[in-house]
Structure 1
Amino acid sequence: MNYDGKIEPGHMQAGDPQAFDASYDAAGTPLAGDDALERRSRRVIVLVIVAVVLLATALWFVLHGGDSADKAADTTQVPVVTVIVPGRSSVAGEITATGSLAARRTMPIGSVGEGGEVREVRVDAGDWVTQGQVLAVIDRSVQVQSAASQSAQVRVADADARLAQANLDRGLKLVDRGFISKADIDQLTATRDAAVARVGVARATLGQLQAQNARLNIVAPASGLVLQRSVELGQVVGGGTGVLFNLAKNGEMELLALLSEDDLAKLHVGTEAKITPVGSGRTFIGQVWQISPTIDANTRQGTARIALKYDPALRPGGFASAVIESGTVVAPMLPESAIQNDAKGAFVYVVGKDGRAHRRVVRTGLVTANGITITSGLDGNEQVVMRAGGFLNDGDKVKARSAAATPGMAK
């Protein structure tokens, strides 16, 4: 600025209004009227364009920026789950059951004679006996004397019969000479016949007494294992005393296996079963010989009776488990980790095409060393969550990863 108040070109100051006025050029020289107007118009247009761009950018962020953030958040929070496609496997059917061991045929033995005092007990529980073996001896002193007396009566009757026969023989020799009439012969014949009949009666009575004496002893009706002894020395027994011994016929045992209605329907007589008594560590082979025709209304279970041969390790009343063959089953098989359970029953999570885990109710079947078969609820082509199912909810978005792609995972 010179001393006469004029602004020299190129010396405009930042605080001067002219520095921001479109009516001046860069040298500070005032512009003509048209040029100043054109300069202002261009400036306004630029400002409007900038404002429109800023407004459009803000509007785009409002409409799309939140979704992108949500998607980014979702991407970071979506859990990765291991899935398996089970397919369908052919599995040898096995039914597991538990039950109690018992004698297949229990024979209660009591006193069948007139009874008396027990003088000797020759066996105890756990002993093996043969048919006809004496288990206990009953006092028979009185009965022996009665039998001896009757035996003497037999000899008397026999002597009378021999005498009557001799008289008849002599009479027959005299009748030809006329010393004895035929009427006398008839009398002698009748006497002889009566004597012979008395011999028969005496012998029959003796046999009866001897049979009664033989029945005084308690005898095994068949070979087998003595399960229980309920008699002691000095005890007086008779027909109403009750059971003195319990015998397992031929030592045969059985397992009374409790099974559900579905499992019973899969069995038939002759099916092989493997029995493992508790505490023995041994496995015995048996066969189903009877299937319960009725179902318990309270437990909804029935009994399969599995016959077993005698072995000292099989103790009636003991507890045992059974694995029974039930044919071949073709069904999907899953590892135990894939199956969840709650109050509503068993279920799995299936990853759908929408990338979400969906709860699927299933019904389990055979339990094997390789997994658990699924009898209903799956066809084998689904992507089933193999692990971490307990942390999912129905409808959760997940990222599926195949079990085959996971190092060290059992297929």
Structure 2
Amino acid sequence: MKRTSTAIFSQPGFRAFLMVRLAAMFAMQIQAIVVAWHMYDMTRHPLTLAYVGLAQFIPMVLLLLPAGDLLDRFDRRRILQISWSVSVLSSAALLWLALSETVDTWPYYVALFVFGCTRAFTGPAVQSLLPQIVAREHLAQAIATNSMIMKVAVIAGPLLGGLLYAAIGGWTFGVCLLGFAIGVFLLQWVPSVRIVRAVDDQTTAVSRFTAGIRFITSRPIILGAISLDLFAVLLGGVVALLPIYAAEILHVGPAGLGLLRSAIALGELGMGFYLSLRPLNARMGQRMFLAVAVFGVANLVFALSTWFWVSCAALFIAGAADMISVYIRSSLIQFATPDDMRGRVSAVNMLFIGSSNELGEFRAGVSATALGTVPAAVFGAVGTLLIVGLWTRLFRPLWTIDNNEQALPERQKHPA
């Protein structure tokens, strides 16, 4: 077991890839927590949090498909460098706005819109790079290890962000700027692997952009996994409501908000560590449905809790369940996708999953404005459980899939 567990670190560039992602993930997580608290503190209105999500969602929807096409046609590492360089500028704008103490919210939304543009490229770029660095026999374990290590940033980032904001206020955005800059610098040690791409330059742009959508919709297992995760996050996610819970229901302030965000990631980290040692490769479909159901129940407990540590425990369980779902979905997609399609398929995956986080924030903010904070959280959790029941009927191939090999393209199952 020990030899198998450490073999992936001998893959050229894997350790550098992890360091790059860790730096950028720290910056992203700190920025998310600081933006949410800072803007809610400015306005004390749930709709402000809704617009924070919407400002990042719109550019991702508009740019993800073209981004996927570019990633299958040009150097993925170079695109990632450019995107994170623009993220540096976005963080610099947020820093300037916070230090200038402007009371207008629209400049923040402009900076977040620019940041959403960069995420349209960085998300699928990162997903596309990993299979180029790690051999296929180590890919499932690499996904789990990568996810687990990234959760260190997802745990420590919000906690550090909350503490830093309580101590130094708007200067915390400077830490985000530094994290993205370090990621850009470290990328030079990640190998840029050239692969043979089956992208026909004579085809129309629309045809190339939509190739990823056609690929996914033609495979019920992949479509079911992505859409299940999409609606679970869209309906059941409570991250956007955490500033309200921290300020008005649990009364724990920005440091407590950081702990709530970190509780989710701590659950993900623990489960990611387990999966990195014992990767799943049996009854994967049933386990995914069970994980999403547990995610919904845990969020329902959080929605109704008025005790801080019960809320943290519920978020911990939700994070662990979400990690199982993410692990299975990521494994199935990576095994099912040919190298020349990874950019576009990753872009569609990001379109469904990544943007659902921001759209989910918008949904949560609007629901909290219309229904109240607790009813909005309860509504989302119950909706997640209803989706699980419906999807078991609509996507029977996903329910019955047993292992990753069943998701392989036919030409890889039966090589010539």
- Which interval holds the TM-score relative to the shorter structure? under 0.3
Q: Normalized per residue, which structure has more helix?
A: 2
TM-score normalised over the length of structure 2 = 0.15
- TM-score, normalised with respect to structure 1: 0.15
Q: Which has the larger radius of gyration?
A: 1
